[in-house]
Amino acid sequence: MAAVKLLDFWAGWCFPCKTMAPIIEELEKELAGKVEVVKINVDEKPEEASKNGVMSIPTFIVLKDGKEIGRKIGVTSKAELLKLLQS
């Protein structure tokens, strides 16, 4: 099976990021073993954000075998994220 990762770019002071946190945790539990969720605090790892071209947060990037296959910026529904993960 392809290695799928969901990169979650966030910051502690970001209100939309806090709104998304429970949705991301739900996805992490539901997709355990299928999708690796990687939470990246942009304040602690600004190089990761710039390497991935992240200009605003929250940003969610889906990687399949190391290649970007999808991206969502801002508050996003769980259904939208699931759709992105299945692309």
Active site residues: 14, 17
Mean pLDDT taken over the chain = 95
Structural domains of the chain, count: 1
Each residue's pLDDT tens digit, 1-43:
458 999 999 999 999 999 999 999 999 999 999 999 999 999 9
Per-residue model confidence (pLDDT) at position 3: 87
pTM value is 0.94
Compute the average pLDDT of residues 42-54.
Answer: 97
Which residues contact residue 78 at a Cβ distance below 8 angstroms, ignoring those fewer than 6 apart?
Answer: 23, 26, 27
* Number of CB atoms found within 10 A of residue 61's CB: 21
Give me the CATH number covering residue 16: 3.40.30.10
Contact between 87 and 69 under an 8 Å Cβ cutoff? The reply is yes
Which is nearest to 3 in space by CA: 39, 27, 31, 29? 31
The pLDDT > 90 percentage for the chain reads 94
What's the domain range around 60?
A: 4-85
